[in-house]
Amino acid sequence: MTTFDEYKKRIDLSEYAQRQGWEVDRDKSTNTATVLDKKVLGETQDTIVVYKGKDHDYFYTPNHDREKGDVISFERIKNGTDWKEINDKLARYVGDVSQERLVSQPVNTHSHNQAFQHNFKFQMITETDYLESRGISKATIYAEEFKDRIFNKEFSYKEFLEKGVNQLGKLTPIPEAEKKAIQEIGLEKYYSKPFFDQLKTIQGHVKDTGQLPDNYLDSLRNTYGYKAPEGATDRIIVNTSFPLRNEEHVIAAINRNSEYNRIEQSKENAVWSSRTDYDKRPVNTVVIHESPIDSLSYHQLNPPAADEKRLYIATAGNISREQPVLIEKLVKESQADKLILANDNDPGELDRILTWQVD
């Protein structure tokens, strides 16, 4: 059985945080410290700094002296996870399956129906305003290569608040009546950013002191809000969603709109990829990006020749330790004679990760 000390040594804390929705601030990061932000609707809600220690990675939260430590502390402080959950979560993350066993597993075909089975609540893509605002045409969105690879997904502020309140309840007991009051205030403010900012401040106070601040409900009532439509019981926005598949399932999704960009669930070894089964022609070219939107843009700006068939792969940000196994498998099975590395990372890094060589 893996111990906590072994988890600390084996886990790259920066990568671990990114898989839970934290984003690297490249402008503030250095060669020795990585700055990561947790964003909600495009606004930074929390910041950590990760650095390498002698034996394992550490983090600290600027302006919060008590928020620091290793990956175990990160789970306790930032996610409110209890000890058993931490052990189970890190065990799943690290995994007990060897690289050799992973390599031997087949890459399965994934379907639209399989995605629904994992409760991601994907909806057929009909709302295309966000992608069109990024310069992506409907012809590209609905191209055969991307069928069942792009969806819409509703985002419920009510559900988001419920999760936040439950997370707060893991840090300190909250009477059910007060939980209900928070929900009522949230709706009254129509889930405004100032309301969520104040809730974040309350959460920080609880992490520092272990208890709710005095008159915290009044502080929420005093935040700025919006006028909700008559009869509203929730605030719903529609995201553009890109499912991330590993060798067996859809296990995560990138959800995007003009103010929101995060990965739902941990991406682990999963990637986004285009379809290649829409006709019987062999794949000629594999193109690897960090973002599915980059793949769509590339396809539109550099359309394939009439006799060319492409496989697009997107890593959803920096490449994780597990992704190269699946990427190599997909590239090999495509039997393509051309590989284009169009990612933002150092191409040399990807060259070292991919052992497959073009003939």
pLDDT digits (tens, 9 = 90+) for 309-350: 999 999 998 888 888 889 989 999 999 999 998 866 544 445
202: left (phi over 0), alpha (psi -120 to 50) or beta: alpha
Question: Is 80 inside a domain boundary?
Answer: yes
* pLDDT > 80? residue 94: no
Q: The whole model's pTM is what?
A: 0.57
Question: Is 13 inside a domain boundary?
Answer: yes
CA nearest to 152, candidates 2, 70, 253, 67: 253
Question: Is 359 inside a domain boundary?
Answer: no
- Kindly report the backbone phi and psi dihedral angles of residue 226, in degrees, each rounded to the nearest multiple of 5, phi listed first: -115, 160
Question: Is 236 inside a domain boundary?
Answer: no
74 and 183 together in one domain = no
Instruction: Round to whole Å and give the CA distance between 272 and 312.
Output: 8
Tell me which of 110 and 149 has the higher pLDDT. 149
87 and 17 together in one domain = yes
Position 262: which residue type?
A: R
344 and 254 together in one domain = yes
179 and 146 together in one domain = no
- Kindly report the backbone phi and psi dihedral angles of residue 316, in degrees, each rounded to the nearest multiple of 5, phi listed first: 60, 55
345 and 314 together in one domain = yes
Question: Is 143 inside a domain boundary?
Answer: yes
347 and 248 together in one domain = yes
Instruction: Round to whole Å and give the CA distance between 196 and 198.
Output: 5
Q: What is the pLDDT of residue 224?
A: 94
- Kindly report the backbone phi and psi dihedral angles of residue 291, in degrees, each rounded to the nearest multiple of 5, phi listed first: -120, 140
Domain that holds residue 174: 156-221
141 and 263 together in one domain = yes
Tell me which of 44 and 146 has the higher pLDDT. 146
Q: What is the pLDDT of residue 344?
A: 60
Residue at which a domain ends, from 76, 94, 112 = 94
13 and 48 together in one domain = yes
122 and 103 together in one domain = yes
Question: Is 234 inside a domain boundary?
Answer: no
Query: Which residues contact residue 302 at a Cβ distance below 8 angstroms, ignoring those fewer than 6 apart?
Result: none
The domain total for the chain is: 3
Question: Is 233 inside a domain boundary?
Answer: no
Residue at which a domain ends, from 221, 253, 274 = 221
Tokens of 271: 């990637």
145 and 160 together in one domain = no
The whole-number average pLDDT for the span 220-231 is: 92
The whole-number average pLDDT for the span 155-174 is: 90
Question: Is 227 inside a domain boundary?
Answer: no
The whole-number average pLDDT for the span 189-208 is: 91
Q: How confident is the model at residue 155 (pLDDT cuts 50, 70, 90)?
A: confident
Q: What is the pLDDT of residue 119?
A: 65
Whether the CA torsion 155, 21, 245, 296 is positive or negative: it is positive
* pLDDT > 80? residue 118: no
125 and 149 together in one domain = yes
251 and 348 together in one domain = yes
Q: Helices 83-94 & 71-79, crossing angle to 10 degrees?
A: 120
* pLDDT > 50? residue 20: yes
Residue at which a domain ends, from 47, 73, 94 = 94
